[in-house]
């Protein structure tokens, strides 16, 4: 498959990120293709979360962060965008720690559409149900949509976070270690949902579970110390002879 | 004993080792100390209130509150001072609470972490520590003379407002900062603006703390004497018994804190229980406001949507 016949959803070029004087991401370039699942693996502190924060520009809220280089979403540089809120709706983000907002379960999911200006009850109801179903949470909470989102269990809150990220119909979904707080059975259910979602949206999956990347990702990127060690199809990355021997060691857990 | 436990084959894992005994003792001791301290907090308060009420008892009645001072302030009630305090505290908080809360929201939620923000922060903290007599002098210069409000309720209220403002800003910022950053990030991640985030998540979760800070300033404004004495409170003002709106804003008024000082030290042959009764009314007013605030907080908690 030649590189040009797939549309590029996100193009990252020469991206550098520093917190204060400490550079965390050192000039990385890669792209994310439309409707693929891109797995990102790498040890702790390698800058995976920080990288995601550059994509939807929530890095702006960190006053000490300095970003250079370019991130283009659908060809448009995110740092030139006027409507950063539209960008954030385009890129759904699931944070590693579950955050149920101190609102009702319903409002947790309806928050984003409401912020975007949607007020019609019927539409909101439909969105809430669809997203909670996709996040494999609907059956557990459908009778108590009024109770507080913070009162759910950790795993349920994580799925609520996923539902919230889907509620603004993102074109790209970034999942940052989404399965930390979720049991294996539910994780599998969500993974199935992700496989279905791939037909409509692009997914970036940051994970500490190498096998999860292996199961889901079309391509996998190995990030280490703020540099891309390797990015290739998942088959190659997990094969016996990836381009870089470090990759071989890391995916087999004999790293360091 | 440890040796015994280790050597016996059917060893009870939950036997009390000396370490456990020590820990339990420390636990009991800590609990007792903390309990004593909290009792030590409550005891003086109860003692003060009991003593005041006991001394005030002979004149304490509803009539004492609504009656005006009589016979050269040696008899009668405290109505002009009571209503004057309500005026002063009400107007000053109507100015300082919204200003302070909004300023704090700006500083905590919008302002970038830079040198200006740090200077403002430093200024707020230092202003909160300025003695009230200095605020009084400032109010005299700024409101009475420079702004030409004269000795008036307006000048006195604004002085109290200036005095309470920095503390309200500081306490509101603390309440806002106590809202976990993850809540805000979750909102920003789905494309909410700062204001939408503040409205939906930050304010509802800090409103109790904000209210507590504001309410504490009610008692402070009601109790201060110097700032109002310099700017708009008088020893005596003729008012009709029970009249609801006796003062105009450009007039001077009486106030409970100052009246207490007057009857306790300045007027000869005052009925013995009158100063105590005045203190009880002052305390009662503040406690009533606190109780109302608690009720409001409970109500807000039960109606998360607002
Ligand atoms: N707000 C911040 N201010 C300063 N330094 C930060 C900030 N956020 C992250 N860092 C630093 O950036 C580096 C990369 O952090 P990041 O969270 O991106 O790593 P990660 O790959 O997501 O790690 P993990 O797998 O543990 O989640 C770390 O050394 C961290 O200390
Ligand atoms: Mg991370």
> Where along chain A do its domains lie?
3-99+173-251
- The answer to whether the Cβ–Cβ distance between B192 and A85 falls below 8 Å is yes
Across residues A197-213, what is the average pLDDT?
Answer: 90
pLDDT averaged over every residue in chain B: 86
Domain boundary, last residue among B14, B32, B56: B56
By most ligand atoms within 8 Å of CB, the mutation choice from A16, A19, A175 for ligand 1 is: A19
- Say if ligand 1 is within 6 A of residue A24 CB: yes
> What pLDDT, on the 0 to 100 scale, is given for residue B11?
61
- Say if ligand 1 is within 6 A of residue A48 CB: yes
Tell me the per-residue pLDDT of B277-287, one tens digit each, with 9 for 90 and over. Answer: 999 999 999 88
User: CA A193, CA A214: separation in Å to the nearest integer?
Assistant: 16
Across residues B231-235, what is the average pLDDT?
Answer: 85
Is-contact A36 A171, C-beta < 8 A? no
Specify whether B14 is located in the same domain as B141.
Answer: no
Top mean pLDDT of A180-184, A186-190, B249-253, B279-283 is at B279-283
- The answer to whether the Cβ–Cβ distance between B190 and A102 falls below 8 Å is no
Residue among A149, A154, A152, A156 at smallest CA distance from A135:
A156
Domain boundary, last residue among B40, B56, B72: B56
User: CA A39, CA B211: separation in Å to the nearest integer?
Assistant: 47
Q: How many domains does chain B have?
A: 2
**pLDDT at residue A106 above 50?**
yes
Nearest-by-CA chain B residue for A55: B189
Comparing B226 with A3, the larger pLDDT belongs to B226
The residue contributing the CA closest to ligand 1 atom 31 is: A45
CA distances (Å), origin B221, targets B132, B133, B164, B246: 10, 13, 7, 20
Q: How much of chain A, in percent, has pLDDT values that exceed 70?
A: 97
* Structural domain A3-99+173-251, CATH architecture: 3-Layer(aba) Sandwich (3.40)
Across residues A155-180, what is the average pLDDT?
Answer: 89
Specify whether B228 is located in the same domain as B120.
Answer: yes
User: How close is the nearest chain B Cα to the Cα of A185, in Å?
Assistant: 26
**pLDDT at residue B9 above 70?**
no
DSSP string, chain B: -HHHHHHSSS--TT---HHHHHHHHHHHHHHHHHHHHHHHHHHHHHHHHHHHHHHHTTT-SHHHHHSPEETTTTEE--HHHHHHHHHHHHHHHHHHHHHHHHHHHIIIIIS-SSHHHHHHHHHHHHHHTS-HHHHHHHHIIIIIIIT---SSHHHHHHHHHHHHHHHHHHHHHHHHHTS-HHHHHHHHHTT--HHHHIIIIIHHHHHHHHHHHHHHHHHHHHH--HHHHHHTB-S-----TT-SS---TTS-B--HHHHHHIIIIISTT--TTHHHHHHHHHHHHHHHHHHHHHHHHHHHHH----
Specify whether B21 is located in the same domain as B115.
Answer: no
Specify whether B169 is located in the same domain as B256.
Answer: yes
User: How close is the nearest chain A Cα to the Cα of B120, in Å?
Assistant: 18
User: CA B261, CA B73: separation in Å to the nearest integer?
Assistant: 12
Q: What confidence category does residue B99 fall into, taking pLDDT thresholds of 50, 70 and 90?
A: very high
**pLDDT at residue B257 above 70?**
yes
Q: What confidence category does residue B225 fall into, taking pLDDT thresholds of 50, 70 and 90?
A: confident
User: CA A169, CA A202: separation in Å to the nearest integer?
Assistant: 12
User: CA B22, CA B267: separation in Å to the nearest integer?
Assistant: 62
Nearest-by-CA chain A residue for B303: A103
Across residues B76-104, what is the average pLDDT?
Answer: 91
User: CA B242, CA B246: separation in Å to the nearest integer?
Assistant: 9
**pLDDT at residue B211 above 70?**
yes
Tell me the per-residue pLDDT of B144-197, one tens digit each, with 9 for 90 and over. Answer: 888 888 898 999 999 999 999 999 999 999 999 999 988 998 899 888 999 999
Give me the residues paired with residue A203 across strands: A37, A173
b/e sequence B194-232, b meaning 16+ C-beta within 10 Å: eebbbebbbbbbbbbbbbbbbbbbbbbbbbbbbbbbbbb
- The answer to whether the Cβ–Cβ distance between B188 and A168 falls below 8 Å is no
- The answer to whether the Cβ–Cβ distance between B113 and A115 falls below 8 Å is no
Cα B176 to ligand 1 centroid, rounded to whole Å: 25
Question: What is the extent of the structural domain holding B158?
Answer: 62-302
- The answer to whether the Cβ–Cβ distance between A115 and B204 falls below 8 Å is no
| Atom number of ligand 1 nearest to Cα A46 | 21
Residues of B in contact with A148 (CB under 8 A): 304
- The answer to whether the Cβ–Cβ distance between B186 and A63 falls below 8 Å is no
What does the H/E/C string look like for B262-297? HHHHHCCCCCCCHHHHHHHHHHHHHHHHHHHHHHHH
> What pLDDT, on the 0 to 100 scale, is given for residue A256?
56
Comparing B274 with B8, the larger pLDDT belongs to B274
- The residue with tokens 């200095």 is B134
Query: Can you give the length of chain A in residues?
Result: 256
B191 → closest Cβ in A88, A99, A107: A88
Across residues B229-256, what is the average pLDDT?
Answer: 83
Supply the angle between the helices A154-166 and A184-197 in degrees, to the nearest 10.
10
User: How close is the nearest chain B Cα to the Cα of A93, in Å?
Assistant: 6
Q: What confidence category does residue B5 fall into, taking pLDDT thresholds of 50, 70 and 90?
A: very low
Which of A47-56, A197-206, B2-11, B247-256 shows the lowest mean pLDDT across its residues? B2-11
Specify whether B108 is located in the same domain as B248.
Answer: yes
Q: Rounded to the nearest 5°, which phi and psi values hold at B69?
A: -60, 140
Is-contact A41 A251, C-beta < 8 A? yes
Give me the residues paired with residue A76 across strands: A73
Model ipTM over 0.95: no
Specify whether B15 is located in the same domain as B112.
Answer: no
**pLDDT at residue B3 above 60?**
no
The residue contributing the CA closest to ligand 1 atom 17 is: A49
> What pLDDT, on the 0 to 100 scale, is given for residue B12?
64
Cα A235 to ligand 2 centroid, rounded to whole Å: 24
Give me the residues paired with residue A73 across strands: A10, A76
- The residue with tokens 């997914």 is A203
Tell me the per-residue pLDDT of B86-96, one tens digit each, with 9 for 90 and over. Answer: 999 999 999 99
**pLDDT at residue A20 above 50?**
yes
Residues of B in contact with A104 (CB under 8 A): 304
- The answer to whether the Cβ–Cβ distance between B191 and A102 falls below 8 Å is no
Q: How much of chain B, in percent, has pLDDT values that exceed 90?
A: 30
Across residues A124-140, what is the average pLDDT?
Answer: 90
User: CA B242, CA B279: separation in Å to the nearest integer?
Assistant: 19
Specify whether B35 is located in the same domain as B162.
Answer: no
Across residues B220-233, what is the average pLDDT?
Answer: 88
Cα A252 to ligand 1 centroid, rounded to whole Å: 24
Specify whether B23 is located in the same domain as B157.
Answer: no
> What pLDDT, on the 0 to 100 scale, is given for residue B306?
44
Is-contact B77 B63, C-beta < 8 A? yes
Across residues B222-226, what is the average pLDDT?
Answer: 88
Interface of B with A in 203-262 (CB under 8 A): 204-205
> What pLDDT, on the 0 to 100 scale, is given for residue B8?
53
**pLDDT at residue B70 above 60?**
yes
pTM comes to 0.82
Across residues B199-205, what is the average pLDDT?
Answer: 89
User: How close is the nearest chain A Cα to the Cα of B285, in Å?
Assistant: 35
Tell me the per-residue pLDDT of A29-83, one tens digit each, with 9 for 90 and over. Answer: 999 998 899 999 988 888 999 999 999 898 888 888 899 999 999 888 988 888 8
**pLDDT at residue B4 above 70?**
no
Tell me the per-residue pLDDT of B38-68, one tens digit each, with 9 for 90 and over. Answer: 888 889 889 999 999 998 888 888 888 888 7
**pLDDT at residue A174 above 90?**
yes
Specify whether B25 is located in the same domain as B127.
Answer: no
How far separated are the first and last CA of chain B, in Å rounded?
A: 62
> What pLDDT, on the 0 to 100 scale, is given for residue B1?
45
Cα A24 to ligand 1 centroid, rounded to whole Å: 8
Specify whether B36 is located in the same domain as B79.
Answer: no
User: CA A83, CA B189: separation in Å to the nearest integer?
Assistant: 14
Q: What confidence category does residue A4 fall into, taking pLDDT thresholds of 50, 70 and 90?
A: low
Residues of B in contact with A115 (CB under 8 A): 187, 190-193, 196
């Amino acid at each position: 498959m030649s590189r040009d016949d797939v549309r590029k959803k996100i193009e990252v070029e020469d991206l550098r990120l520093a917190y204060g004087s400490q550079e965390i991401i050192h000039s990385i370039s890669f792209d994310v293709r439309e409707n693929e699942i891109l797995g990102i693996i790498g040890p702790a502190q390698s800058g995976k979360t920080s990288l995601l924060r550059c994509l939807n520009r929530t890095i702006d809220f960190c006053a000490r962060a300095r970003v250079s280089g370019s991130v283009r979403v659908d060809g448009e540089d995110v740092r030139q965008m006027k409507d950063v809120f539209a960008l954030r709706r385009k890129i759904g983000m699931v944070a590693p720690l579950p955050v149920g907002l101190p609102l009702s379960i319903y409002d947790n999911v309806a928050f984003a559409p409401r912020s975007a200006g949607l007020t019609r009850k019927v539409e909101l109801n439909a969105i809430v149900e669809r997203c909670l179903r996709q996040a494999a949470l609907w059956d557990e909470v459908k009778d108590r949509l009024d109770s507080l989102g913070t009162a759910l269990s950790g795993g349920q809150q994580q799925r609520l976070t996923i539902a919230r990220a889907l509620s603004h119909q993102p074109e790209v979904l970034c999942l940052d270690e989404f399965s930390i707080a979720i049991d294996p059975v539910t994780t599998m259910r969500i993974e199935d949902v992700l496989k279905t979602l791939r037909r409509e949206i692009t997914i970036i999956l940051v994970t500490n579970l190498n096998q999860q990347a292996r199961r889901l990702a079309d391509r996998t990127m190995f990030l280490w110390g703020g540099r891309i060690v390797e990015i290739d199809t998942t088959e190659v990355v997990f094969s016996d002879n990836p381009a870089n021997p470090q990759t071989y060691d890391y995916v087999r857990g004999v790293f360091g | 004993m440890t040796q015994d436990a280790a050597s016996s084959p059917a060893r009870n894992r939950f036997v009390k080792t000396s370490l456990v005994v020590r820990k339990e003792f420390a636990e009991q001791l800590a609990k007792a100390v903390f309990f004593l301290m909290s009792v030590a907090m409550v005891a003086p308060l109860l003692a003060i209130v009991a003593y005041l009420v006991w001394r005030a008892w002979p004149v304490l009645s509803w009539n004492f509150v609504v009656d005006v001072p009589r016979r050269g302030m040696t008899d009668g009630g405290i109505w002009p001072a009571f209503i004057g305090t309500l005026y002063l505290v009400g107007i000053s908080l109507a100015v300082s609470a919204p200003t302070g809360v909004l300023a704090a929201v700006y500083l905590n939620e919008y302002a970038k972490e830079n040198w200006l923000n740090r200077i403002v922060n430093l200024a707020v903290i230092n202003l909160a520590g300025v003695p009230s007599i200095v605020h009084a002098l400032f109010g005299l210069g700024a409101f009475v003379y420079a702004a030409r409000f004269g000795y008036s309720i307006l000048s006195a209220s604004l002085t109290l407002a200036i005095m309470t403002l920095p503390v309200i800003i500081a306490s509101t910022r603390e309440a806002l900062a106590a809202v976990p950053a993850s809540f805000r990030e979750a909102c920003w991640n789905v494309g909410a603006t700062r204001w939408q985030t503040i409205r939906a998540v930050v304010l509802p979760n800090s409103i109790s703390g904000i209210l507590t800070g504001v309410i504490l300033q009610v008692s402070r404004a009601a109790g201060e004497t110097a700032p109002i004495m310099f700017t708009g409170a008088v020893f005596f003002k003729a008012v009709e018994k029970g009249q609801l709106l006796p003062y105009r804003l450009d007039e001077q008024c009486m106030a409970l804190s100052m009246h207490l000082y007057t009857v306790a030290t300045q007027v000869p042959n005052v009925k013995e229980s009158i100063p105590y009764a005045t203190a009880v009314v002052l305390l009662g007013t503040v406690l009533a406001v606190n109780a109302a605030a608690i009720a409001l907080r409970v109500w807000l908690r039960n109606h998360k949507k607002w």
